[in-house]
Amino acid sequence: MGEQAVKISEVTLTKEDFTSDQTVRWCPGCGDYAILSAMQKALPEMGIAKEDLVFVSGIGCAARFPYYLSTYGFHTIHGRGPAVATGVKLANPALSVWEIQGDGDALAIGGNHFIHALRRNVDINILMFNNEIYGLTKGQYSPTSQQGLITTSTPMGSIERPFSAGEVALGSQATFFARTIDTNPKLMSSIFIEAEQHRGTSLVEVLQNCIIYNDKTHALITAKENRDDFQLHLEHGKPMLFGAGKSKGLRLNGLKLEIVTLGENGITEDDILVHDALEPDPTLHQMLVRMRPPEFPMALGVIRAVKAWTYDEGLAAQLAEGQAKAKIKSVKDLLLSGETWEVS
């Protein structure tokens, strides 16, 4: 990490240290509980001093998240969290800034801020809880709802084509994109830690279940009987294998991904694509984020983590250069700059 590295906590903190005194008010069984718990576990491992952590959010069920952590927190307005988080980080680069959004918050009302945050690459971490529904406002379809979904605002089924959050993110030049799921606490915690370590905007999509308005929307991926076939856990430098006993893998056939089975038609592990999260060219990452069951497994893990110049680095460099070169060093100098004349 750069010179503005976040201060390391002097004492070892525990999960309890990150729990606020507020009663958690999500519906019983909501996936958000598991995400909160995974974050409370991950935070002590990051070793960041508690006072240097700021959780910003927009509006929605997801956006209540900051109230339940004992760090600094700011629950703002619908969709604007990335803009507020950007201001916090630019004002004090020594802070570890997190921004929590729902799918509606991020991709509907806040779409503009979402894409520009990723494009700018300010060093903040965005967690998007994707339940493919508007939870807080009682179950209307969202920009990630599947076509045909019956919701409170689409009694005859949703007409719109859904966004893939990852595709939007990569199209916005995201330097870090990871996907995880609320049923996998370990994966969540480890990805949160990796997101924190990445310099630049880290986007983590958490597939989350809204038990009330869109229950089992991710069931195809999470159900025990499908899990192996429909989850591809990507690890940098490892072959893209999945299925029972890691018997299946992905390879490229022309410009398309294809599922192959090891041992069939002479396929060996050498034919399988090896995951390269650090590759700047997003082409393959785009293909991976687009995959969806039942045709393909869902890609989980850190899909993209490329090094790139961050906005905060650029700003710090300009501030330093400005300071070094400035002839005008104070407001007094400024007032006296240019043409002045004395009246006596």
Partner 1 sequence: MTATAKKRVELDRVVIRFVGDSGDGMQLTGSQFTYTSAMLGNDIATLPDFPAEIRAPQGTMEGVSGFQVQIGAVDIHTPGDEADVLVAMNPAALRANLKWLRTGGHLIVDLDDFEGKNLKRAGYDQDPLEDGSLDGYSLTRAPITSLTKEALKGVDLSTKGIVRCKNMFALGIVYWLFNRDPERTLRFITEKFRKDPALIEANTKALQAGYFYAETVEALPSSYEIAPASIAPGLYRHIAGNQAIAWGLMAAAERLGSDLFFGSYPITPASDILHELTRHRGMGVLAFQAEDEIAAVCSAIGAAFAGQLAITASSGPGIALKGEAMGLAVMAELPLVIVDVQRAGPSTGLPTKTEQADLNIALHGRNGESPVIVLAARSPAQCFEAAYMAAKLAIEHMTPVILLSDGYLANGTEPWRIPDLDAMPDIKRHAPSADVATPFQPYLRDPTTLARYWAVPGTPGLEHRIGGLEKADVDGNISYDPMNHQKMVDLRAEKVARVADHIPAQSVRCEQSGKVLVIGWGGTYGSLLTAVTELEAAGESVGLAHFEYLNPLPANTEEVLSHFEHILVCELNSGQFARYLKGLFPEHRFHQLNKVQGLPFRVNEVKDKIMELCHG
Ligand X SMILES: Cc1ncc(C[n+]2csc(CCOP(=O)(O)OP(=O)(O)O)c2C)c(N)n1
Interaction of residue 232 with ligand SF4, rule CB under 6 A: no
Are 82 and 117 a contacting pair, CB within 8 Å? yes
Burial classification of residue 204, based on how many CB atoms lie within 10 Å of its CB (0-12 exposed, 13-18 middle, 19 or more buried): buried
List the single partner that 315 binds among partner 1, ligand SF4, Mg ion, none, CB under 5 to 8 Å by kind.
partner 1
Residue from 24, 27, 77, 267 that binds ligand SF4 (CB under 6 A)?
27
249 contact, one of Mg ion, partner 1, ligand X, none, CB 5-8 Å limit per kind: none
For residue 305 the two structure tokens come to 């983590």
Residues that bind partner 1 in the complex, under the rule CB under 8 A: 20-22, 49-54, 56, 59, 66-67, 69-77, 80, 82-92, 94-95, 112-113, 116, 315, 318-319, 321-326, 328-332, 334-336, 338-344
Mutual angle of helices 81-91 and 111-120, in 10-degree steps: 30
Q: How far apart are CA 218 and CA 223, in angstroms?
A: 8
102 belongs to the binding site for Mg ion (CB under 5 A): yes
Indicate which of partner 1, ligand X, ligand SF4, none lies near residue 213 (CB less than 5 to 8 Å, by partner kind): ligand SF4
* DSSP-derived 3-state class of residue 64: helix
| Comparison of 27 and 267: residue with beta carbon closer to ligand SF4 | 27
Q: Smallest distance, Å, CB 133 to ligand SF4?
A: 7
Cβ closer to partner 1: 39 or 53? 53
3-class SS string, 180-240? EECCCHHHHHHHHHHHHHCCCCEEEEEECCCCCCCCCCCHHHHCHHHHHHHEEEECCCCEC
Cα dihedral 175, 86, 115, 276, rounded to 10, equals: 10
Residue 146 tokens read as 């599947």
Closest approach of ligand X to the CB of residue 103, in Å? 4
- How many CA within 13 A on the CB side of residue 265? 5
Q: Which is nearer to ligand X, 111 or 171 (CB)?
A: 111
Structure tokens belonging to residue 175: 């330097």
Q: Is 135 in the site for ligand SF4 (CB under 6 A)?
A: yes
Which of residues 79 and 102 has its CB atom nearest to Mg ion in the complex? Answer: 102
Of all residues in the shown chain, the one whose CB is closest to Mg ion is 102
Our CB check for ligand X shows the closer of 98 and 311 to be 98
Enumerate binding residues for ligand X (CB under 6 A). Answer: 59-62, 78, 102-105, 129, 131, 133-137, 142
242 to 281: interface string for ligand SF4, x by CB under 6 A:
----------------------------------------
Q: Binding to ligand SF4 by residue 73, rule CB under 6 A?
A: no
Q: Burial-class residue 3 by CB neighbours within 10 Å (0-12, 13-18, 19+).
A: exposed
43: part of which helix (H) or strand (E)? helix 32-46
In the block, residue with structure tokens 């591809």: 232
Instruction: Note whether 241 binds ligand SF4 by CB under 6 A.
Output: no
The least distance separating partner 1 from the CB of residue 19, rounded to whole angstroms, comes to 12
Specify the residue, 32 or 194, whose C-beta has the smaller distance to ligand SF4.
Answer: 32
Tokens of 309: 């110049």
Interaction site with ligand SF4 (CB under 6 A): 26-27, 30, 32, 61, 131, 135-136, 210-213
